[in-house]
Each structure stands twice: as C-alpha cells, then as structure tokens.
Amino acid sequence: MNINKKRICIIYTGGTIGMIQDEKSGALRPFNFSKTNEMIPGLSALNVELSVAAFDDLLDSSNITPADWVKIASMIEEHYDYSDGFIVLHGTDTMSYSASALSFMLENLQKPVIFTGSQLPIGVLRSDGKDNLINSIEIAAAVSESGLPRISDVCVFFGRKLFRGCRTTKYSAENFDAFVSANEPALAKVGVHIAYRSGASGVSGVSGANGVNGVNGVNGVNGVNGANGVNGVSGASGASGANGANGASGVFNSDGKFRAEKNLATNITIIRMHPGVNDKTIEMLLSMPHLQGVILETYGSGNAITRPSFLALLQNAVQRGIYIMNVTQCLQGCVEQEKYESGLFLQQAGVIGSGDITSEAALTKMMYVLGKKLPQEETVKMLSCSLRGEITQ
C-alpha cells in the first residue's frame, strides 16, 4: 500500500451506471467495478487506491428501502477507518432519498460520501457514467491546504456539479443534469478545474471537515465541533458551528466520534395537497395503524385548505402524537406558515413548518429523528432546525 494514495471505497448498490452491453447478445448486464482501473485506465493519475464493496443483489433504485440505507451505512461503518472517502454508486430514481437518509444517519461524519450514478450505462459510448465516476473519485480524494478532506459531507455528484445530498431532487429523466439543488448553490462545479464554493456556510466539508460538524447543529450543541467550524477553510464554518448551538440538545454522542444511526422510524407517509382532496381521504390516511409522521406537501409558502373539518383532522392527528411537517410543493422557496391565514391555521393545528427543506430530506429526516424515540419537545426541535444543512437558517 502506498501511504500517499487516498483510499477510496466504492459501494455499488446497482442502478443504470453499472450496466455494460454484452458483446455477444447486446443485452445490458452489471459491470464488475473491481475492474474499474481497467475500464478507465487514466484513473491511476489520480493517485488513489480503489476498493469495491457491492450489494449481493444489485438494485434498481426504485426498489430501495430503509433497510438498504442501513446496509449502506453499515458498509461505510465497516470501511470507515481504512478509507479516506466513499463513492456510493446508486440508481438515479431515488438517489436524493438515499443521499438525504445517509446524511442524517452518518453522525459526526469527517469524510466524503459521494453518491453518483448515470443516465446512460457506463458501458455505452456516450455514457455520463465515466465522467461522474472520475470526478466523484477526484473530489473524494481531494484535501484542503490544511490536509483535511475538502468535503466531509454526504453529497450527490451529477452533471458536473457537486451538491449537498440532502438538498437534491431528481428533476429530469432526460438530461445529463438530472439533479437540482434549488435552495442552495452547488458545493463545487467541474470545468477545466474543480471550483469549490468558498464561504459555503461551512455546512459541508467544502469548508473543511470540522466545518461540517458545525453545521450539523448536532455537535454544535456541545460546542465542541461547532467551535471547530472556526478551523474550516471557508471561515464561514465557524458561524455554522454557532448554528449548531441552536440544534437539539444532547441527543448525539458528544464525543464527536463517527457513528451510524440505524434505527429508522418507517411508519411515515407523504400527503400531497391538491384541489378537491376530501376529508374522507385525509381521515383514512391519518388513521392508518401505527402512523408516526406525515410530510404534508402544501402549496406555495406552506398553504393548505382552510376548511375547518380538514384542519380538525390534522389537529386531531397531532394530538394523537403524529408529527406533521409542512413542506412546500414548490421546488424553490420556503414554507412561512405565518405569511397567509391558511398557513397560520396549520401552525395553530400543531403542524411543524419546515422552511425550504425538500420532501426527500423531510421524509428521511423524520425517519431518522423519530427513530431516536426522544421526548416530544426535543423531537419537534430537531425537526424544526437544520441538522445537516438541509434547511436554510
């Protein structure tokens, strides 16, 4: 082993990226990523040592479940000490859900975890797969002047841009730019050079590994890593550490050590507001056995129907201990429940306003937070504040 080489672990879960065309039959079959160096000969110039861990049964990501997120988290945990960074190869359809889930589950993360995939199989001539993979590897291996990883966050790399994973949404089934992070600029853009965004609030490892933790709010709670944010390259990360102080109190391991949270609450669903939705439907959904939480996708800045019977159903659910988060259907902008009467009614019913979080991040955050089985006040606090930079604060 060459000690100067960065050790990057590729976790292969499935998806289009892993497909190559069988020379004889022409059919698509999975590519063996342990042969990545052969497939992409120039990779040796990156001075990385690649290792590969793959799912036994490769998945079309439409079939992904929370149990698979636990599997990915366990694989990262298993290889954490030995690896400098991780690439998760994943289908694009649910990549934003998985990247969001892992960004919450991986606590005190100090290393890059980059999700990528492709629109065309890697074995197809015009594939975006090679480009996405090479750039992800280069970013995962990058260090700042202080020797810390450039990125120490869960990200999505796609279409020449690096995004914070919990900010992404797949918006195109056609373009090579398949993902968008509508409420936060890209953390890095790839052109002739890789341009990392400076002063990026320290939320991500763009500003140095410690900055990341500052953002998490998690560590900021203890003041420990929040303070570390000061060391972040961007300088803005110290501020994020301060944000951390607003986070929920004392629920994370205060030793700052990496760990993967594997308890996820799964009785959570998404209800999308639409004109004509009737009380019967809402009542049925809210009375599902074992329901723990709901992501309510509302209009504009967090508005929903003002019909008293509808609001009474929500209020009743909250009183029964069901958590409801208000997330806007708009790709861009945020929920401000106090802005219109219709939003205010939701607030009065006990619905939690969730700022500019995506539905993908809201769903997985609720799974993560409710999995901790904390007292109600602490749970609401965690759901309302930014834990991983998923909400602009």
Catalytic residues: 16
The answer to the question of residue 169 lying near ligand ASP (CB under 6 A) is no
> Minimal distance in Å, beta carbon 309 to ligand ASP?
39
- The contact pattern for ligand ASP, residues 109-128, with x = CB under 6 A and - = no contact, is --------x-----------
> Minimal distance in Å, beta carbon 61 to ligand ASP?
3
Using CB under 6 A, count the residues that bind ligand ASP. 10
> Minimal distance in Å, beta carbon 325 to ligand ASP?
25
Residue closest to ligand ASP, measured at CB: 91
> Minimal distance in Å, beta carbon 144 to ligand ASP?
32
The answer to the question of residue 216 lying near ligand ASP (CB under 6 A) is no
Stretch that binds ligand ASP, among 57-65, 123-131, 257-265, 353-361 (CB under 6 A): 57-65
Q: Which is nearer to ligand ASP, 15 or 293 (CB)?
A: 15
The answer to the question of residue 61 lying near ligand ASP (CB under 6 A) is yes
Among 15, 202, 211, 371, binds ligand ASP (CB under 6 A): 15
Stretch that binds ligand ASP, among 30-38, 54-62, 292-300, 341-349 (CB under 6 A): 54-62
The answer to the question of residue 22 lying near ligand ASP (CB under 6 A) is no
Q: Which is nearer to ligand ASP, 72 or 206 (CB)?
A: 72
Task: Give the 3-state secondary structure of the chain.
Answer: CCCCCEEEEEEEEECHHHEEECCCCCCEEECCHHHHHHHCHHHHHHCEEEEEEEEEEEECHHHCCHHHHHHHHHHHHHHCCCCCEEEEECCCCCHHHHHHHHHHHEECCCCCEEEECCCCCCCCCCCCHHHHHHHHHHHHHCECCCCCECCCCEEEEECCEEEEHHHCEECCCCCCCCEECCCCCCCEEECCCEEECCCCCCCCHHHCHHHHHHHHCCCHHHCHHHHHHHHCCCCCHHHHHHHHCCCCCCCCCCCCCCEECCCCCCCEEEEECCCCCCHHHHHHHHCCCCCCEEEEEEECCCECCCCHHHHHHHHHHHHCCCEEEEEECCCCCCCCCCCCHHHHHHHHCCCEECCCCCHHHHHHHHHHHHHCCCCHHHHHHHHHCCCCCCCCC
Stretch that binds ligand ASP, among 43-51, 58-66, 329-337, 377-385 (CB under 6 A): 58-66
Stretch that binds ligand ASP, among 11-19, 71-79, 272-280, 379-387 (CB under 6 A): 11-19
> Can you give the binding site for ligand ASP, defined by CB under 6 A?
14-16, 60-62, 91-93, 117
